[in-house]
Amino acid sequence: MHLARFPRIALGHFPTPLEKLENLTRALGGPNIYIKRDDCTGLATGGNKTRKLEFLVAEAIAQGADTLVTQGATQSNHVRQTAAAARKVGMTCHALLERRVGNMGDGYETGGNVLFDDLLKCHYEFRPDGVDMNAEALALTEALREKGRNPYFIPGGGSNTIGALGYVHAAQELVYQADTSGLKIDKIVHATGSAGTQAGILAGLFAMSTPIDVIGISVRAKRDAQIANVHKLAVATADMIGARGELPVETVEAYDEYVGPGYGQPTDSMVDAISMLAAEEGIFLDPVYSGKGMAGMIGLINQGVLKKGENVVFVHTGGAAALPAYEHLFTKQQRA
């Protein structure tokens, strides 16, 4: 594989650090825990979408686009990073925000990522829960084209083969960091949603013939559906980067035990995981993705799936920009 074959622009700060979490490792008494700081990608508070956007926005520029169109849930980190990328390259961002998460606090539709969307001059409109958001965003793309714009459509989460190249790049970067520091990685754990992150990492590892287990902690879909989504995108991405052979479905691992009542709905284990990482390491996770991802990793350590002596890398995919919109979950906890 040779990623320079694909257009890419610089939007973030790379490589992101790979660090050992000494305090968390000690507190949990299981495997050696490392963290890949993709919350520090640098674009408007960072996160995993920045890597994807380096390839997606490069394609938009190559097509002469003046507008980026995308969609996400109200507190979407992807929309916030896409809006920032648009500002950086002199484009306009139009986004649709799905009211996917009910029963949230007062600041849910104005604070956190939505505040940042405002600052980034993102043109956003809300949509009700349950509509086909990619279809809505495609319809908006066509409407903008009819008005004389040249829009470039980015699917939810930036998860197509072009976006997944960002995580092929991350897999290369991580393996290089591990090799140069003498770290043998046994397992990688991260939150998985629209599938591009896990698919890109798996395609990258497959192309490098580097079998490291990649465990996705689902934040929305059931296990079988998530495995199918990730596998489909991983196969297409691996083909695009010229990997030989078909990426086996057995290499795709996902757990759905940490979703709780649904996407964006709080769980006790998520609140505990966020509180623990902040207290032990001074690092912020988020309630929708990385908090549930960390809850999953802690759960798998407690179940003995991740064992003492193993080296586990948690990919911190970002999201803490959403934390203030979920203040009510934590004020209760702090006062308890």
Ligand X SMILES: *Cc1c(COP(=O)(O)O)cnc(C)c1O
User: Which residues would be at the binding site for ligand X (CB under 6 A)?
Assistant: 47-48, 77-78, 157, 159, 191-198, 286, 289-290, 317-319
- Listing DSSP states for 311-334 in one string gives EEEEEE---GGGGGGGHHHHHHHH
Least separation in angstroms between residue 321's CB and ligand X is 9
Angle at which helix 161-181 crosses helix 196-207, to 10 degrees, equals 60
Q: Which pair of tokens denotes residue 170?
A: 């991350």
Residues in the chain: 336
H or E segment and range at residue 82: helix 77-88
Q: State the pairing for strand pair 213-218/92-98.
A: unpaired
Neighbours of 115 (CB within 10 A): 15
Cβ–Cβ under 8 Å, residues 279 and 9: no
Q: Which of 76, 194, 218, 290 is catalytic?
A: 76
Q: What are phi and psi of 63, to 5 degrees?
A: -90, 5
Cβ–Cβ under 8 Å, residues 78 and 44: no
Catalytic site includes residue 76: yes
Task: Choose between 18 and 199: whose C-beta lies nearer to ligand X.
Answer: 199
Q: Which pair of tokens denotes residue 292?
A: 């549930």
- Listing DSSP states for 159-184 in one string gives -SHHHHHHHHHHHHHHHHHHHHHT--
Residues involved in catalysis: 76
